[in-house]
Homo-oligomer: A and B are copies of this chain.
Amino acid sequence: MSEYKVCVVGAGAVGEEMVKVLRQRNFPVSELVIFARSNRTQEIDGEQYEVRETSADAFEGIDIAFFAGTEGSKGASRQYGWEAVERGAFVIDNGDDFRMDDRVPLVVPEVNGDAMANHNGFIANPNCSTIQMVHALAPLHKLAGLKRVVVTTYQSVSGTGSAAIKELAQQIDDYVAGKDLTIEQYAHQILLNLIPQIGSLKDEFAGYYSEEIKMIKESRKIFDVADLAVSATCVRVPVFKAHSEAVNVEFHKPISAEQARGALAAWPGIEVLDDPASSKYPMPLFAANTDPTYVGRIRQDSCNPNTLDMWIVADNIRKGAALNAVQIAEAAIARGFLKR
């Protein structure tokens, strides 16, 4: 089996998880290097890594370059992504700079891996909330054809990055100690609260924040259904890890909860947890640090036989970011899309 010289660009929450996932999955790595803003030594998953300063020439000889695309590394793929491609690297970018770029396939391997067939050396990893949703919708789309999706999210603070994880932890400590809470990562306190704002306003959709717009546009690109009707409301909740989503989906054809359960259970990467009588359903506390996209509360809409309601939970740092990025590389290798 071939081995690859791999780099991870960015050493925040997602970059660290990428390193972890590459090791856990025994990704065929001949050499693993980490690039970031500055040279340093950093412990990741119990191992010391020499982190090197990113430069265009550093991509010389790299086979696969993962851009973590969040926090400190934001903008790295804009600056170095195509430079890396020119130097022969296969780029997988977790950031949002090129997701809607026509040159760039936007890929969840279990959904549209073949979109990579005619790639230009640059693949985009979708937004975390989009990944778990399209992953769970894919088998149902195949069965009955997606028509309209109304999604509401319950997103954990890890989506913002490690500083937000620390801020929530600090708010809990300070709350118990009776101190004033520090609020820096969000416009408001997140502990014991909900913040219906993720991202910033954009002109193209009046009143929508960018996370909501991403869910709409990325879903259409991934399913290749330009007029797919998607409504999204994204809300930050006081949970450390794993995003949850309530989804109401209308299909072109009737579909029963039973059919949906069967199709979901058979789909790669999906785990159905759906026994409401025993209080069994997906929850972020238990999805955190695991790989599957969990689906439960699957039920036919009482008003329309073509509509299903369901509840989707996945670890936003793993399936929502690092794991999906590594799976893109694995799929590209397995399907022969990676030119060496």
Residues of A near any B CB (own CB < 8 A)? 148, 150, 152, 154, 172-173, 175-176, 187-189, 192-197, 201, 205-209, 216, 229-231, 233, 235, 237-240, 244, 246, 248, 257, 276-277, 279, 281-285, 296-304, 307, 309, 311
Contact = CB atoms under 8 A, between A and B. Distances in A.
Contacts of A257: 206-207
A201 B277 contact: yes
Contact of A150 (B175, B248, B277, B282): B248
Nearest to A279: B187
A294 to B, nearest CB: 11
Nearest to A157: B192
Given A201-B276, A248-B248, 19 more contacts: A150-B150, A154-B194, A154-B235, A187-B279, A189-B285, A192-B238, A196-B246, A196-B281, A196-B297, A196-B311, A205-B299, A206-B299, A206-B300, A207-B276, A207-B297, A209-B276, A233-B246, A233-B309, A235-B244
Contacts of A154: 154, 194, 235, 237
A304 to B, nearest CB: 7
Q: Which of A173, A195, A209, A279 has the most CB of B within 10 A?
A: A279
A277 B208 CA distance: 10
7 contacts: A148-B303, A192-B285, A196-B311, A229-B304, A231-B301, A233-B311, A235-B311
A259 to B, nearest CB: 14
A239 B284 contact: no
A180 to B, nearest CB: 14
A188 B283 contact: yes
Given A237-B237, A240-B192, A276 B197 contact: yes
A176 B191 CA distance: 14
B208 A299 contact: yes
A46 B177 CA distance: 26
A194 B299 contact: no
B194 A237 contact: yes
Contact of A194 (B175, B195, B284): B284
A177 to B, nearest CB: 8
A16 B63 CA distance: 67
A208 B246 CA distance: 13
Q: Which of A176, A207, A244 has the most CB of B within 10 A?
A: A207
Contacts of A197: 276, 279, 281
Contacts of A248: 150, 231, 233, 248
Contact of A207 (B230, B231, B237, B299): B299
A238 B172 CA distance: 12
